[in-house]
Amino acid sequence: MDEPILTSSLILPNRDDILDDPFEIEDLLGNQIDGLINAGIKTTKLTTIVDMTSSVPEVIRQGAANVDSLLL
């Protein structure tokens, strides 16, 4: 995939469904990832995604976590 991913849920491009089953993620992405740590299905709420690749962090998806203190 040419980028690191650390996630407990995942929405792939061109899909609307939220993936939170590590077995399904492995089935879909297994040939595109170097490794997968499967801790089982733990998701109960959407994760918050923050893009921190530039000097100003940007909330990409607001989920369960309040990240206001991270946004300067």
pLDDT in tens, 24-68: 888 888 888 777 766 667 656 677 778 878 888 888 888 777 777
> Which residues have C-beta within 8 Å of that of residue 52, sequence separation ≥ 6?
none
Half-sphere exposure of 45 (CA within 13 A, CB side): 9
Q: Which residue has the higher pLDDT, 42 or 14?
A: 14
Cβ atoms of residues 24 and 12 within 8 Å: no
> Which residues have C-beta within 8 Å of that of residue 46, sequence separation ≥ 6?
9, 18, 61, 63, 64
- Give the pLDDT band (50/70/90) at residue 4: low
Angle made by CA atoms 55, 56, 57, in degrees to the nearest 5:
115
